[in-house]
Structure 1
């Protein structure tokens, strides 16, 4: 663990003195104020919530002499995006009764609520736990939601990787009883254990210790033919190695991460590196060993370079692997030749192999809402009531309804149509493979629009793509309101990353498979000019691509300067 000579960040001190993440959260929940104290905001993340404010209202409220319009975002932990129909229905009810009437499917296969007032926070988290979900470790310096291919298939392969995602979630979860005391026990019994001095002493955190991790930690599990969860963007990845229909082990990858601070040259995005092969029975303990190495050697003096990718960059993969083997207790085998080579977004109708079907519905940027034109929430409630389907959330912010009988397929689509919901089959390829982070108005880090801007950009590039004959071309466009990379922009074919007010840095050259980083192409592009710049890239691609070359591959091959020349040429 960190030694006494280290100059710990303020966040490290807050964690160490928090009494296993309790802090003064309980006392502050009883206060009538609309916001939490500054130090408490760091601890609330571990409980699955961020305090935010509506930035659209800041100026108006300031002129009126009012404080910011504070509320909380509450995120669930849902391993592999697997949940029941009743759990989804309960979340829809919760967003209406306590939230801002919308529900967001995230880029890590979970759900988050927005607009939860401080006075309603305990009730919201309590109700989430009552439906056998949790918010613990959905945020904070711990292992976050474990991602995994969500599709439902007959056979042991998908069952095993999905079970592993659950087992890793449990194995790497914090052990503090503070979560239960704050959000569950009190509402059930009516007893107050929140007054100063009455809570139990902080118990041992056998895996995390008193300071938890230096920064967030993310895990993903994928198949070589289906990297639908962006394996290489995770701190820790498990790529299933399958022989004759059975998983014989996993190639372990380490050190992925998307966040960047452009003003700090020491920061960078990174794709994970291949480390070792493990047998299925080794996976959990190796995951713990990797996490413990990061816990003990990750940077606690500078949060900008505290992710595990920086430790690996400093040490090299050989030294890092040796330390993991030391913590694990024995040497590990080298990776097999198995590598990512496919990506299935699981949209549309797909056979499960048991006579039933799944339907993947593209949900633009993951936002579930009802308005005068489109009633996603009402459609989902109707589908839940009629079919009671198993629910799977995807890493592209969409949803899969599972266990649908052949005879029910037309009826499910009719329900969606009756509620004005665009079917996946009616969604353009470019829109289907795009996604955006929340951005404004709720994210405190965002400098530009993201979720609210991307649909308009899609509207303006769909027709030009069709005119170029590229409307069936698969490539990823990802948009974020800041450089932190919540929508995994830095390995996409094209990324639009918020740079300053109403301006974006455009990146190109990544890969749909998530196996190549992109590069900065243009700086400070106005929102209004983004479609024009993209169409110029598409036109150059159409005129100069090689056989079977992807958009990202083309941009990577020609490089920034040549791409700019080709994009400005007359065709």
Structure 2
């Protein structure tokens, strides 16, 4: 490919001197709260995005002020596991350098909002003191590696967590730019990127590990999904799925979400080599001209799965074995206490939309930007738990928290704090709310077209009335909402999915698999709340009356002919709406 065919971002990476750009100069410029436009592409590799408060844009523009620039910063946290000491430091940084809240992401890590430019360096330095960085939390590299969090098998979870660390460290970018710019360490020799080269990957790359029957990481939504195969309580290897990805663009049928395709089985001895080689295949053959066509899913669909096998063989002599049998049953988080096979206890707490904050007597936090139960001291309660808990905390792929490995003698102490702060009040909420997820969207995400985190709880309340009136209030239905089609909360895996189209308007999708193994499909386009409720009411009533025993909502709407099944991402835009209408 000639230089003229490369996208602008590729030119920025080429000229960046291993991701340095002019970031250091931008951090030193006190005349603006922003950094240079080209550098905003590079800082993603360091875990942060430049944003501004969209609620204040008009006001600041009228006052002839620059936008209220601030940064969203994610941490790299393989499998979402932290100690109590690390939790306390992460909490402290939110108050010293961010907006006083924490956001749990759907990739098992923490996200800070409202970080000012002058606070980026001290935040990353202080996180580094407790063994946490943000290298590769965003950018055109492998991002945070996910792994099953639900602790049914304690020893197996530890092993899979170790795999997440191994993969994360192996695929982390190696340039010393992170240490030089943000940790202010001296240069040490020449830079070298043995896996990524000087231009890194064409787009972001995501990896997750699941342990059946739990698919709590939505393993098929990742560029590489590793499905643990367990025999006689021993991990014998992984089925490898490739080509998952949620992002698409409204009105562009050449873009589509895709679920990973299982291509074979690898033993533990061959897994890391296979993962690295798949990343290199995408490095060498991914589209560097059109970023909307640059994810691994399009490379695979352009060339075919057979070509992937040929590449693995030609490049590294890798011949995967036939995939082993497995079965997923769900992709949510069972709440409450569970006993592990090591005799320790684990408590899963519901965190609505992943927002950790203390809510005042009016149910608001951060100047009314976030909403929750009145007087709910969630952030304080979790902080107090971190002070006494000798085990670890696990963030889930559904942005909940597991207080993991509580010793039997400590369980009463944990229960007392949980009760005092009402941390288990999630049990009072409906199964519908437990199964709902939203992205951040307004006011900070530059891509948002509609509300998501701030609106979904209100919409769920109205859908709760529909399911209660229909007599199925305890029936779990997976609901996902995003403010745009980039798919951060994996909306195309919602049995009911909402994707923002404009302020107050959403595309409605139906029919995803309850186990996370089937995409949904567009049912109605660009509709408001009144239309959403009018569309869902008769469908939910029909489901209540006609469903078969144990039949999930997503399966029912396909069987009943309400929506066509999406069998592959390539067919996501076909037969839109009901089969009869198509």
TM-score for the superposition, normalised by structure 2: 0.91
Point out where structure 2 has 5 or more consecutive residues left out of the alignment.
361-374, 565-575
Name the counterpart of 1:495.
Answer: 497
The aligned residue for residue 429 of structure 2 is: 427
Correspondence for 1:466: 468
Give 1:286's match in structure 2, choosing from 243, 261, 274.
Answer: 274
With over 3 angstroms needed to count, the CA separation of the structure-2 counterparts of 1:416 and 1:492, relative to structure 1, is: same
Aligned to 2:350: 362
Partner of 2:210: 222
| SS across alignment from 2:281 | helix
**Contact persistence 1:236–1:253 (CA under 8 A):** yes
Contact 1:413–1:423 at 8 Å: present in 2 too?
Answer: no
Equivalent residues in 2 for 1:426-465, closer than 5 Å? 426-465=428-467
Specify whether residues 454 and 18 from structure 1 end up closer, same or farther in structure 2 by C-alpha distance, changes over 3 A only: same
* CA deviation map 1:224-250 (0-9, x unaligned): 211111010000011111111111111
The answer to whether the 8 Å contact 1:429/1:473 transfers is yes
Conservation of the 8 A alpha-carbon contact between 1:325 and 1:332: no
Alpha-carbon distance in 2 for matches of 1:223, 1:334: 18
Task: Give the deviation of 1:467 after TM superposition.
Answer: 2.8
Q: Measure the CA separation in 1 of the matches of 2:518 and 2:172.
A: 31
Aligned partners of 1:19 and 1:201 also within 8 Å? no
Is 1:26 the equivalent of 2:40?
no
For residues 205 and 559 of structure 1, the distance between their equivalents in structure 2, rounded to whole angstroms, comes to 52
Which stretch shifts more, 107-116 or 418-427?
418-427
Aligned counterparts of 2:548 and 2:504: Cα–Cα separation in 1: 35
> Do the aligned partners of residues 293 and 423 (structure 1) sit closer, same or farther apart at CA in structure 2, a change above 3 Å counting?
same
1:195-239: CA deviation from partner (whole Å, max 9, x where unpaired) = xxxx67861111000110000000010122111110100000111
Among 526, 529, 535, the alignment partner of 1:527 is 529
Q: Which residue does 1:314 correspond to in 2?
A: 302
The runs of 5 or more residues in structure 1 that have no matched partner are 187-192, 194-198, 567-571
Cα distance in 2 for partners of 1:173, 1:303 equals 22
* CA distance in structure 1 between the aligned counterparts of 2:524 and 2:190, rounded to whole angstroms: 50
Q: Aligned with 2:183: secondary structure? A: helix
Match status 1:167 vs 2:166: yes
- Shift of the alpha carbon at 1:112? 0.6
> How far has the Cα of 1:420 moved from its partner?
4.5
* Contact 2:332–2:398 (CA under 8 A) maintained in structure 1: no
Match of 1:485 in 2: 487
Q: Compared with structure 1, are the counterparts of its residues 475 and 410 closer, same or farther at alpha carbon in structure 2 (3 Å cutoff)? A: farther
Query: For residue 335 of structure 2, what is the aligned residue in structure 1?
Result: 347
| Contact persistence 1:146–1:168 (CA under 8 A) | yes
CA drift of 1:318 comes to 1.1
Alignment partner of 1:21: what SS?
coil
Decide which of 507, 514, 517 is 2:516's aligned counterpart. Answer: 514
Alpha-carbon shift at residue 378 of structure 1 (Å): 0.5
In structure 2, what is the equivalent of residue 189 of structure 1?
none
Superposition pairs for residues 63-462 of structure 1, below 5 Å? 63-152=62-151, 156-186=155-185, 203-343=191-331, 345-372=333-360, 373-406=375-408, 408-421=410-423, 423-462=425-464
* DSSP 3-state at the match of 1:184: coil
What is the aligned length?
553
Q: Verify the 8 A CA contact 1:510 1:556 in the aligned structure 2.
A: no
Partners of 1:387 and 1:253 lie apart in 2 by 36
CA distance in 1 between counterparts of 2:233 and 2:407 reads 26
Deviations 1:100-125 (A, max 9, x none): 11100000000010000001111111
Q: Say if 1:48 and 1:75, in contact at 8 Å, map to a contact too.
A: yes
Q: What displacement does 1:79 show?
A: 0.5
Which whole-Å deviations, capped at 9, do the CAs of 1:297-356 have from their partners, x for residues lacking one? 000000001000001111111111221232232322121233434445142111012222
1:552 maps to: 554
Aligned to 2:5, what secondary structure does the other structure show?
coil
- Please state how far the C-alpha of 1:561 moved relative to its aligned partner: 6.4
TM superposition shift of 1:151: 3.2
Please say if residues 88 and 387 of structure 2, whose CA atoms lie closer than 8 Å, have aligned partners that are also in contact. no
Q: Deviations over 1:455-480 (max 9, x none)?
A: 11122222332232212212210000
Look up the SS of the partner of 1:185 in the other structure.
coil
Q: Which residue of 2 aligns with 1:190?
A: none
CA spacing shift, 1:253–1:404, aligned 2, 3 Å: same
Q: Answer with 448-457 or 557-566: which moved more.
A: 557-566
Moved more, 145-154 or 497-506: 145-154
- Return the offset for 1:427: 2.2
Q: CA deviation at 1:529?
A: 4.1
Task: Look up the SS of the partner of 1:176 in the other structure.
Answer: coil
Deviations 1:469-520 (A, max 9, x none): 2122122100000010000111221101001121000000001211001010
**Matches of 2:514 and 2:563 in 1, distance apart?**
22
Contact 2:390 2:406 in 1 (8 A): no
Is the Cα contact below 8 Å between 1:14 and 1:39 reproduced in 2? yes
**2:8 aligned with 1:10, yes or no?**
yes
1:535 Cα offset (Å): 3.0
Asked if 2 retains the 8 angstrom alpha-carbon contact of 1:83 and 1:390, the reply is yes
- 8 Å CA contact retained: 1:475, 1:511: no
Q: Secondary structure at the match of 2:212?
A: coil
User: For 2:82 and 2:36, how far apart are their aligned partners in 1?
Assistant: 34
1:53, CA displacement in angstroms? 0.5
